[in-house]
Amino acid sequence: MTSSPFILGLGAVLAVALGFLVDQPYFASVVAYGLVLGIFSLGLGLTLGRMGYVTFGHAAFFGLGAYAVALVCVASGWSYWLVLPLSLVPGIALGVLVGFVSARLGGAYFAIATLTTAEILRLVAANWIELTRGPMGILVPVGPLPWQEALGWNPAQAYLSLLIAVAAVVLALVHNLNRSPLGRAWVAVREAPDLAESLGIPTVRARVWNVALSGAVAGLAGALVLPKIFVVTPDLFGVANSATGLLAAILGGKASLLGPLLGGLVFAVLPEALRFVDAARLAIFAVILLVVVRLLPGGIVSLMPARLRPRNRAPRPDGSAPALFAAASTAATLLEVRGLRKSFAGVTATQDVSFSVRRGELVGLIGPNGAGKTTCFSQLSGFLAPDAGEIVFDGASVLGQAPHRIAARGMVRTFQHAALARNLTVYENVLTATHLALPESVLASALRLPGLRRREAARAQLALACLAALDLGARADEMAQDLPYGEQKLLAIAMALAARPRLLLLDEPAAGLNQVEAARLAEVLRGLQHAGLTMVVVDHNLKMMMAICDRIVVLHHGALIAAGTPAEVREHPEVVQAYLGEAGA
Amino acid sequence: MVDILLQQIANGLSVGMGYALVALGLTLIFGVLHVINFSHGETFMLGGLLTLIATTTLGLPYLAALPLAGLGGAVLGWGVNRIAVRPLLARRDGGADVLLATFAVSILIHQAVVMLWGPAPARIDGVPGTFELGPVVLTGQRLFVLAAGLALLVALEWMLRRTRFGVELRAVAQSQFAARVVGIDVDRVNGATFGIAAVVAALGGALLSPVILYSSSMGQVVIIKAFVVVVIGGMGSVSGAVACGLLVGLLEAVLGLVAGEGVATAVIYSLLLAMLLIRPQGLTGKRAR
Amino acid sequence: MRTLFRAALLAAACTLALSAAPRTAALAADPVRLGVINPTKSLVGKQGQQGAVVAAEMINADGGILGGRKIELVSYDTNFLPNEGVAAAQRLINQDRIRFITGEISSTVALAVLQLAQANGALFMAAVPKHPAVTSGYDRVFRLNSTTAMDAKDFDAFLVEQIKPNKVAVIAENSDFGRLTIAGLKKLFGDKVVAAETYEMTQNDFNTIVTKVKGSGADVVCLAGSNMEQYGNILRVAAELKLTAKRCVMPGILNSEGVRIAGPAADGAFSADIYVTGLDNPLNQRFVAAYKARYNELPEKIEVLGFESIWIVAKAMDKAGDATDPGKVARTIHDNAWETPRGTVRFEKNGQAVAGPLINLEVIGGKLVAAKP
């Protein structure tokens, strides 16, 4: 498995070796420009590959980084190399802004947000003459690097060597991030945003961080192009630049770590390599692109023989037995629902529903189709805001809180549809769901600090314990989509457990299960209850519900019509009427 | 002042119709095939070039050049679909691959035109004459763009709503899978959609080139704005693209009275970005597919 | 791990392969090679390139330089992109071992190439770029085109004394050239400038601008834009919207291609430039004939600048008796006057070319001709 120290080490070796070897400025500077594009594309790949956000305006970050450094250099007279790190700042700032906007609007609008931002910035740069000198551009003096003369290198050698080092660092950071809880959160947000939120992943924050980090890298790339072109012009914000970054990432292989870097290199080096047929070089470049995309579905990285993205395989249990769910509180009543009301365009979905759940109880929520059970769950877990009513969880109101906040408080729900990411392994899915178990900072994630490794190991053990609790341990390294349906439903519960709930809300866990599978599920739920977990279950399998629930709450047309032990509810005339009525209709 | 404003509204509408015509095919392809055709702008340029060749080298009258441009668009659309779209659609990440492939095709078309025909821009004489409606002066060609564009939009709308093919097309747009289940030849619908979009783009090029002049880079310039129009109009929404195209043209012209086009465009984009924050579903109300 | 190792091996192998490229030194009997960079896929770039080719062919037809050595051009496309321009120049300097670079249209590209030329002690003979910073502080850089400030010197007087406008409108592209022109005319005419409009270099609809200019009541409208399809279209729209003001195209940009684009709408427009095809001197007649024979077109300003960039460098090498030392050739260029199709060209200390006064031009019957005094 590739590790970040290995990447850094290789980067250092290559930086020194190629610095000496590629002493011809032309080659050095062409490859260096390829690395600039590659770094740009790596930044873009963070949003494209991780979040699945297509972007047509990443040049906004690229250009902003270049302009920021150019303006500071010219205004202060400081050395370009000193100012260079500043290029990260505007990228992050704009990334937070754009990330927030697109988080509000959803991924499809990321394209608009970036494209229009880039165009606005281009127009501002072209028209704010006093600041940017407009289309004339700003000439940036770039002195030699401090170590250039000591090593006897020409400027291109030093530039190439620095870029290899920067590319290695960026690659290592991206690699670290992808493997961290934050990186897993990005994939979770891409694959199933609601489920991610229900597992306690703050999806808006994850998105904003993603775009901000992507913007920082793109901004750095923009500043790094200056020693090559010396002059910044509004064209840096142009769609042509955005397209190059995007297409390089796709060409290289957007889902892979190395892909964008390779794509960037190809976009820079190939047109230069075709200089010997100067007149037709762009046409030949286009033909090669076309052939590559036709023949290599996964991008250039698919040419590489070894598997580039090794699966995160489940480790062995280390004998530690992590607590499966957070210690139960002392309050006797864990959940108190009062007068919950919600209607959609005049149609009442829940109508003054009130009930409570005591600690350690297994409460069933039943009712005919359209009774408002799932709507009720959605309000409890924060996905829907009730029109009226009160929800008190563990002594405090959770009304109006975001789902991930409610999950963090200990009320975790599942969805009818099971897995988080169908093309990740069972283990990886559960590992992603451990997000709440131990908090992690972005810095620790990017640098993979020792504390993070320790906590990662603990998270891994927790994930294993959750799998073991549902008897899925043997399936850990299988793809989630390859599991039989019944076990996919169990996986959903294992993931909810990984979020360390005190109250688990299960939405139709038995739907679509055959008898054997349903029996296994009932067994699992009983076991969890014995272990001390409080649960509310919505399901249509009345036989199972009657068998496992301590108490049952019955909804009909959004209203609570009965509550009591299974025996009481079974005899309740309104309940019988409701179910008969449905059967008769 | 009122006179100038009226003139600007007329100008803006004729410019906006151009944006709408280019955006239309782009959004149609996105709506049905769920891919972005990067080479759309070059199809527009080819429409202009064919008009130029027809009216100068072949000596045909302008109106006779239009069907020729449409035909050229259809042939190009067919070819691009065969080479760069259809073989890639079935892939898991087909959308991204199509983007890359059509980008390559757009470079190829542009380079071929520059190498075979040359880079020189040229004037095309369209419908002659100018018409004065009170204080508003419009050239014959601009009126023709408005009328022909409108006719094209109506014809397209009729086709989408009233013909069997339109029904099939909308079914495929809703769900390729469901369309296949009910026995619709999805490949054929995809191909036809691509062809129609290319014909509209080429006709757009033929209609607008007398106004904006033919140049080999006319496609690259116009595609950027068309793209913004498509995205803001709600990707895949035909009516959204048309409304947004006309609106951007109109706003540009009116704002252009107090600022340069660059500033006017920046203001419009900022407004639209702010509007999207308040009204995320886009201009036309429906959520983008 | 293994993959990265393979990638590293691959990269190292490529590097070695690239580093092993042959380095050949020029022999005395070899042709003299000159570097030419241009955005050859654009019309102006192509025009500049063709001018350079004609220069090399004329010199070679005369028997070459330095006692019979032929001129050989090594040409690269810059695609209007600074990174490609730098790559092209770097390739010339490092791979082709040529330290004489000529040509180019774009100022942005020229500024980037200039840094590189300076770092390598190469001679850079910029043909068309107008940015003032191109000629600043390097003794081996030259610029053949006139600057906006130089054009203004002659043309301002002409405007004030001959045209005598009451109200002036300016329509300028949003570029250094356009901005400088607006500033210059405002300084010259003060309150008489009643409208100053800029348009983007990608803009293709000019109804709004012309409508505004028409509303301003100007009796002279000055156009400042380097793209012929843009100013040509503006002239056409002006005619369509029945703008009656006199149309002045600022010096150095009007050419017959632009006149062709504008069509009948260009008639009566006036301008000025450093060259006109019909100049009456033997070298120009020879150049025009050679160009016509080669490309079946008549050359204009851009073609002449492309021609001069090769012509002057080659003649200077001949005079200096050296085709390898850029410093020596640069000094020779500075110390002498050079006969070219537009007359006698000298260079100021900063490398700026100066020739005779501007030639006033006007469009009559669809033809661009020298105005009668």
Smallest CA–CA distance, residue C240 to chain B, in Å, is 7
| CA diameter of chain C | 80
List the one residue out of C66, C70, A240, C19 whose CA is nearest residue B217: A240
Rounded mean pLDDT, C154-180: 88
pLDDT tens by residue, A431-456: 988 888 888 888 888 888 888 888 88
CB-CB under 8 Å, A119 with B112 = no
- Can you give the residue ranges of every domain in chain B? 2-278
Choice among A296-305, A448-457, A472-481 with the minimum mean pLDDT: A296-305
Query: What secondary structure does DSSP assign to A339-406, as a single string?
Result: EEEEEETTEEEEEEEEEEEETT-EEEEE-STTSSHHHHHHHHTTSS--SEEEEEETTEE-TT--HHHH
CB-CB under 8 Å, A123 with B104 = no
Please list, residue by residue across C4-43, b when 16 or more beta carbons sit within 10 angstroms of its beta carbon and e when fewer do: beebeeebeeebeebeeeeeeeeeeeebbbbbbbbbbbbb
Pairing of strands C71-77, C32-38: parallel
Sheet with A411-413, strands from edge to edge, namely: A396-397, A388-393, A333-344, A347-358, A559-564, A551-556, A362-366, A534-538, A503-507, A411-413
Please check the confidence at residue A108 and state whether its pLDDT lies above 70: no
ipTM of the complex: 0.87
pLDDT at B287: 39
CB-CB under 8 Å, C212 with B123 = no
pLDDT at C285: 95
> For chain A, which chains pass the contact test of at least 3 CB pairs under 8 Å?
B, C
CB-CB under 8 Å, C174 with A135 = yes
pLDDT at C234: 93
pLDDT tens by residue, A204-225: 899 999 999 999 999 999 999 9
pLDDT at A326: 60
C180: confidence class by pLDDT, cuts 50, 70, 90: confident
CB-CB under 8 Å, A134 with C8 = no
Chain B positions touching A47 (Cβ under 8 A) are none
Residues B189, A148: Cα–Cα separation, whole Å: 61
* Token pair in block for residue C209: 């601008």
Locate the chain B residue with the closest alpha carbon to C227.
B121
Taking only residues 155 to 184 of chain A, the set having a beta carbon closer than 8 angstroms to any beta carbon of chain C reads 155-156
pLDDT tens by residue, C207-254: 888 888 988 889 999 999 988 889 999 999 998 888 889 999 999 889
Please list, residue by residue across A259-294, b when 16 or more beta carbons sit within 10 angstroms of its beta carbon and e when fewer do: bbbbbbbbbbbbbbebbeeeeebbbbbbbebbebbe
List the one residue out of A360, A281, A12, A49 whose CA is nearest residue A177: A49
CB-CB under 8 Å, A21 with C16 = yes
Query: What secondary structure does DSSP assign to A400-434, as a single string?
Result: T--HHHHHHHTEEE--SS--S-TTSBHHHHHHHGG
List the one residue out of B41, B167, B164, B22 whose CA is nearest residue B102: B41
What is residue C244's three-state secondary structure?
coil
DSSP conformational letter for C26: P
B285: confidence class by pLDDT, cuts 50, 70, 90: very low
CB-CB under 8 Å, B280 with A120 = no
pLDDT tens by residue, B92-138: 777 778 888 898 899 899 989 988 888 888 888 888 888 888 778 88
Highest mean pLDDT: which range of A280-284, A329-333, C154-158? C154-158
Is residue C368 within 8 Å of C268, Cβ to Cβ? no
Rounded mean pLDDT, A76-86: 92
Q: Of B15, B213, B265, which is closest to C229 when you measure between CB atoms?
A: B213
Q: How many CB atoms lie within 10 A of CB A319?
A: 6
Residues C193, B80: Cα–Cα separation, whole Å: 51
Rounded mean pLDDT, A355-364: 90
Q: Of C7, C19, C87, which is closest to A272 when you measure between CB atoms?
A: C87
Please check the confidence at residue A424 and state whether its pLDDT lies above 60: yes
**Which CATH class for the A333-584 domain?**
alpha beta
pLDDT tens by residue, B34-83: 888 889 999 999 999 999 999 998 999 999 999 999 999 999 999 999 99
Is residue A263 within 8 Å of A41, Cβ to Cβ? yes
Phi, psi of C347 (to 5 degrees): -120, 135
Counting one residue from chain A and one from chain B, the pairs whose CB atoms sit within 8 A come to 111
A329: confidence class by pLDDT, cuts 50, 70, 90: low
CB-CB under 8 Å, C174 with B212 = no
- Can you give the residue ranges of every domain in chain A? 4-303, 333-584
> For chain B, which chains pass the contact test of at least 3 CB pairs under 8 Å?
A, C
Choice among A242-256, B200-214, C15-29 with the minimum mean pLDDT: C15-29
Average pLDDT score, chain A: 85
B-interface mutation test, from A58, A290, A423, A481, most B Cβ less than 10 A away: A290
Q: Of A22, A231, A275, which is closest to C112 when you measure between CB atoms?
A: A231
> Which single residue is written with the structure tokens 């062409």?
A30
Which CATH number is associated with domain A4-303?
1.10.3470
CB-CB under 8 Å, A33 with C90 = no
pLDDT tens by residue, B139-195: 889 899 999 999 998 998 898 888 999 999 988 888 888 888 888 899 899 999 999
Taking only residues 211 to 230 of chain C, the set having a beta carbon closer than 8 angstroms to any beta carbon of chain B reads 211-212, 215, 228-229
Q: To which CATH superfamily is domain C149-273 assigned?
A: Response regulator (3.40.50.2300)
Higher model confidence: residue A485 or residue C117? Answer: C117
* Token pair in block for residue C109: 């590209």
Pairing of strands C270-273, C359-364: antiparallel
Chain C positions touching A27 (Cβ under 8 A) are 15, 18-19
A306: confidence class by pLDDT, cuts 50, 70, 90: low
Please check the confidence at residue C153 and state whether its pLDDT lies above 50: yes
Residues A506, A539: Cα–Cα separation, whole Å: 8
Q: Pick left, alpha or beta for residue B121 (phi over 0 → left; psi -120 to 50 → alpha; otherwise beta).
A: beta
Residues A487, B269: Cα–Cα separation, whole Å: 49
CB-CB under 8 Å, A10 with C3 = no
Hey, do C32-145+280-354 and C149-273 end up sharing a CATH topology, with the first three levels equal?
yes
Residue A412: what residue type?
A: V
Please check the confidence at residue C40 and state whether its pLDDT lies above 50: yes
Please check the confidence at residue C13 and state whether its pLDDT lies above 80: no
Residues C10, A14: Cα–Cα separation, whole Å: 12
DSSP conformational letter for A305: S
Phi, psi of B212 (to 5 degrees): -100, 0
CA dihedral B103, B104, B107, B113 (to 10 degrees): -120
Taking only residues 259 to 288 of chain C, the set having a beta carbon closer than 8 angstroms to any beta carbon of chain B reads 260-263
In chain B, beta strands by DSSP E: 130-133, 136-139
CB-CB under 8 Å, A119 with B91 = no
pTM: 0.86
Rounded mean pLDDT, A467-479: 86
A-interface mutation test, from C15, C79, C135, most A Cβ less than 10 A away: C15
pLDDT at B279: 63
Locate the chain C residue with the closest alpha carbon to B140.
C240
Please check the confidence at residue B286 and state whether its pLDDT lies above 50: no
Residues B271, A469: Cα–Cα separation, whole Å: 54
Average pLDDT score, chain C: 88
- Per the DSSP assignment, residues forming a β-bridge with C249 are C223
Chain A positions touching C39 (Cβ under 8 A) are none
Which CATH number is associated with domain C32-145+280-354?
3.40.50.2300
> Which single residue is written with the structure tokens 């002392």?
A330
Residues C174, A104: Cα–Cα separation, whole Å: 36
Q: Of C41, C232, C240, which is closest to B119 when you measure between CB atoms?
A: C41
DSSP conformational letter for A238: S
pLDDT tens by residue, A575-584: 888 776 655 4
Locate the chain C residue with the closest alpha carbon to B256.
C208
Contacts of A244 (CB under 8 A, 6+ apart): A37, A40, A267
Cα C202–chain centre separation? 20
Rounded mean pLDDT, A8-34: 85
pLDDT tens by residue, C48-101: 999 999 999 999 999 999 888 999 999 999 988 888 899 999 999 988 999 999
A98: confidence class by pLDDT, cuts 50, 70, 90: confident
Q: Look up the CATH architecture of domain B2-278.
A: Orthogonal Bundle (1.10)
Q: Of A123, A282, A285, which is closest to B263 when you measure between CB atoms?
A: A123
Give how far Cα C239 sits from Cα of C207, C270, C330, Å. Answer: 11, 15, 48
